[in-house]
Structures are given as structure tokens and as C-alpha cells.
Structure 1
């Protein structure tokens, strides 16, 4: 009986311990953890928005990088520790875009873009420049991506995890489309009588170096900002404008009179119907127009010398000191006190650059004119190479009013004239008396 009681006592104790252990688990649960036994990053790339770009442009290409990596199997146990990183997270990503076989240049350097968790998307921007002669078509751009991910984690005891990371290098690809377009290249730009303050012509030779055959094309010349060169008639219809073809055009332009000699910009572009039947405008090409100096005239003769109280002919030699010949030139003089004239215009005729012509003006000098040098204003009216009526800037004409000397000074001295008259009268009276005395 004692032996049997002892055995029952031991069984009872075991049962009590089991119950207590179960009760302990219920009352004091251990913190559960997870172990991931599958999953890794799965990356892909696409261009955000339209993926069509024109040749000869510098553009920003926005690229979406998507991580589609999933976790398929997870073990969850009370005694497991959960890793801080997920195995499908791409960590410390570095991306670099390459041109591959596409006709473009990548201007952006490699970029560090950080971490990308599974199911998320990251936007990366790349700056590229498409080639001017880029053929139309769809091109595949490669993008190198390097990242680190959690390969697995080992647990030691109840509170220690050791992480094992691996680095992967992958190449993602996405399409980019080059759209067809006319691209203008200026083969030559030759001015014809383009001078400051006048009108002239610009002779342009343009080539379509793009990848589009345009139809119903109109080539437009337009001003650039405050350029003094302005088109007078800026549109020329050329019709068909196929790839690799040249066109020869002539535009009339005007140049501001306040400009200086130099080369000034204008834009040239083409409006045309593309292969989709839509009218579009090409990117403008900048043309430099050489502008010669203003047409000018100078007086190269010495000052005319005149006397007070006389009527004289002023002979003035004008020289074309500008950069272009003129036609039907005529000089005009503007008198001022003490000068007057009834003949203020003198015809010069055609004048080449550097040629001189003599103008003659009849002027009257007041008797009370002060003896000194005067400067009379003059101008030359002429016709330019396009037969436009033009007027030069004012040109000073020096004139010296000088005093008479010697006998001439006495002859034009009023007091001397009066005295001389008195003497002549007295002599005449004396001679008459002497004749009467001889007769008597």
C-alpha cells in the first residue's frame, strides 16, 4: 500500500507540473517571430509618360524602377527573431543609364537612389541629348543597377541574428522612340547690300538633315529678341522638302539705323505637314547676318572763303565714305545768318564707295557778317541698291568769312567810299571852274 501511494504521488506531481507548464504558457506567452525562406528583389524599368523624343534636343527622361519581388514562404514561431530587412528589398541601389545603340548621349552621371522595398516604385531622372541626325525608330536603352539584398539571416539563441547580404548587378532595359522631324542646317548665309539703316537681301542655302520628308513646307525667317535685323517678307513657300535635300532662298530684310556694323542673329524654321498629315514646326536654326556700316558722306574740300556783303559760289566736295554705292545723289545745304541762298540743292549723281563729287551752291553773305569760320549743315539724299529713297546724316560744311585787305579793303570801306566821292566831287568842281576861267 505504501509503495502504491508513492507511485501515485509521483504521477500526480508529474500531472501537476504539466498543468502548470501549460498554464504558464497561457499566462506568459513568448513573443513570436518570423523567418523568411523565399523571396528576393525583382526589378523592371519603364519611362514615365510619353517615350517619344525629337532629334537634336536635350531632354529629361523620367524612368520608373519597380520592385515586383514577393515573399512566398514565411515561418512564424514564438522563439524566432524577425530580421530588420526583408529579402525582397533592394538596398543601396546605384543606377546608370547607357545609350546602347541609340543615337543619343547620356549626360547624367551614375546615381545613388537608396532602398526600394517589394511592391514599391522609384522615379529616377536622366538627362540625355539626342543626336541631330538621329534616325527615326525605337531603341532599347540599357540601365545598369547594382543593389544589395538580405540573402538569409541565422539566429543564435533567443536574441542574436546574423545577417548575410549579397550584391547583385542587373541590367534593365526599356524602349525609347525617336520621332521623325525636319532639322534645318544653314549651309550658307550671304548678305546682299545689307547696311545699317537700309534694306537688303539675305541669300540662304538650307539643308534638311533630319529624318522626315516634309510636304507643303513654308520656310519662315523671324527676328531674334532685339536684333536690329528684321525680315521685311519672312515667309517662302517651298512645297516638298525631303531628307538630305537643299533649298535656295532669298529674303528681304531691314536694318535699324541705330545699329553698328557686325553680325546679328535671325531664326529660320519650317512649317510642314508630317507623315501623319499634321502640320508641325521644326526647331529654329539661328542664322548670323553680316551687316555692313552705314552709308555716310564727308566733306573733303577745304573751307570756302567769302567776304561780307558779297554773293559767292560755294564749291563743296562730297565723298562717299560708306560701305555701299549710291544712285542719284543730290546734296542740299542749309544756310543760317549771315548767309542766305535761293539755290540750296546741287546734283551729284551716282557715287561709288570712295568716289567724290563737287556740289555748287550760290550764297549771299550779309554786309554785317562777323569775320570768323562758320559751319553750315548739309545732307545727301540718294537711292540705295534697292532703289529706296534715303537721306544721310547732317554733314558740316565749313565756310570762312574773311576781311578784305589792301586796295580791296579800301574799296569796300564805306567811309573811304564817301571820302572818295567827296574828293571826286571837289575835283570835278575845281576842274569846271578852271575851264570857265580859261574861257573868260
Structure 2
């Protein structure tokens, strides 16, 4: 299932990401007529998914769902604020004992194979048809669905809204309101978030009940706040980004931190480093995280080694946390991105200080930041120990770490632009699992 933000297609509504009108310093923007990268030039209609209920080699019921999935072979996929639209068709023979037909939408957090290892946070039922006149019915254009007993080919149009929020237990005995989480299912993670759509066909005592069931994907709409006005101007004009010195409101500086260790097992070295991340600390998947690094050392040779792009190790780490069947917290941390670095052209360096620009490329299929009940997906950017030949760090823990959010939709501002020169762009997407202890120095940022 491709969930690339630039390719979002909503057949129910389209909300363009434009710059807020109250930003007087920005030039007027015009809507681009050409297709954006990764965005189809022609917006297609909804994708049809067909499911059958077959008994004795005969189709008794057909469910057609229309979703934002790119292919009918994919799971039906619905974005926040979209309805589950479809058509249910039933061929009822004379003497069929159907008592009622109900649509059920469920959302569950699953952490094990037993029934007790599942938490249902969404359970919405909608009566479609019932033999009893006291139960509401969905209007049907079929004459055979208007009586107390179904007969012939009966059809019901479906349009079921999905709630934006749900109330679920928070683990402390009380309940909280949460946004619906995105579908989460990964081979190496023992927790999943799954959604199902089911048509229940209830019959009398002489025949067993039947159902049509399909899983579906859900994608929430989470959007970062706009970046600083100066960064918006840079994206709009395609000009270089201004660093923390020229655009202080557009960056958050972490630390500073000090890398201490020895070279060649005997020569003590010390390098002060100040990592800055673009604000706000929320980034859309499929885009980039702009970074800036200031380095300072009393030894010019040491500074040259530590300012080599391959020596600076800044990782994007994802933490998945959930309560396992043993009622214990299970947590895994995985590297999902690594920063590319190059010398800054906007800030002048000198023998004892240099400045580097960088960015972390975000995969299009990153799961967004999520927290609901006993399950969460969170991210943080971590400055690891420097990777310098013949250097042994005094400590193994990260030098500094900062929580960030991953969103699904672009901010209402010009799209972020990648600036990494080709020779500094990393083409490897790390997949190994690492465990990091967040640490942040309380020192005052050093002057540059």
C-alpha cells in the first residue's frame, strides 16, 4: 500500500496546501498547473473493490467498495474525512430466511494470538435492512427490499462515515480521546493496528449466518505547522536555506554537546558540536528534515576529521511501544533515516570552527507519529558518536537526542525542497535495529 503524501487522492474533497493569506512578507503564490513530482497529472476516480459471498457455487451477495487505493488488488484505503462508500447486492431466493443485514466497522490493536490480546478502539454498527420494522433501514431502489421479506435482487447504496477520534482506555484506569491511528502491520513487530469492514447477514434458526469481511487501510490527516517565513521564501524561490544565525526563529538548536575520546588510543580529543533542526519539529513523510551542524575544536586537524561528511552520524530513530500479552511494555527502536552532510556555503568557517548543512530524507511509507491507549509510534533525531578512523569515544551513548513528529500531509506552505548535492546524498536506507538512550546536554549554545 503506497501512502506517499504527494500522491494523496481524495475523491470526496481536495484541500490544496496554500500559503496562509496573512503572511504579508511573502509574495503572492499562484497554483501550479503542472503536476507535482510523484503526483498524477490526471486525478483518477475511486478504485472499485469487489467481494463475493458464495454458497454452492452461487454468488448470494456482492459487496462493492470504492476507495482511494491505487489498485483494485490493494486493500481498500480510506483517508480521514472520507466515507466508506459502496454498494451491497443480495440475491434473495424465495424462502430465504434472512432476518437482518448489518454493516460493522472495527478498529483493533492486536498484540498476541489470544482473544485477550486485542483491544477494540472502534466498533461502529449500521443497520442496513431488518425484517423488523422497528429497526431503521437504508433506503433501497430495489422493490424486493421494501417488504418484510427480501425477494429477488436487492441493492443498497452505502456511505458510512469514519470518526476522526475515538475514546479508549489509557492504561491508568481512565479513558482519553485519541485520533484514529493509521493502519500498522509489520512483519517484525508483534503489535498491529487493523481495521475491518464486515457485512453480517443474520438468518433464522434453520440456516447459519453469513458474512463478507475485508480489512482496509486508514490514513489520518496530520499536518505540520508552516515553517518560518524565511524558509518559505527559500522554498518558493529555490534559494539556499538560511542557517540558525540568519533565521533563528526557523531552527531549534540542541545542546551543545561535546564529543570526547582519544585518537590512536592515546591522544585526547574534544570537539564541541551544536546540532540544529528546522522548526517546527514536525515533518511530512516523503519530504526531508533540514539539519545544521556547528563544530568547534582547538585543534585544526581534529576539526577537519570530525567535519568530514561521513564522520557525522545523525539518525532518525523510530520507537514502537506497546503492552504485550504478559502485561509488560515491549519496545523496539529502529533506524529509519540517516542525514547526509555537506559544507555550508552560507556561513564562513575558520581554523577552529566550521559549519555543515544536512538533511534527512524521509521515506514515503513512514508510519506517522501515533499514540492510542497501549500503543504508540514515536520518532526522535539522535546525534550519535562521531565515526572517525582511529577515534574511540569516551562514551557510547548518543550525544544529543530530540523528539520529532512525522505527519502525513504537507504544511499549508511551499513544499520542502531537498538541497543535498548528489555527491553527498546517501542512497542507503538503514534497516538495522538499535537501542538508544535519549540524552540532552544542558549547556548554553556556544557562539559561532
TM-score, normalisation: structure 2: 0.27
Greater Rg, structure 1 or structure 2?
1
Structure with greater proportional helix content: 1
**Which gives a bigger RCO, structure 1 or 2 (Cα 8 Å, sep 6+)?**
2
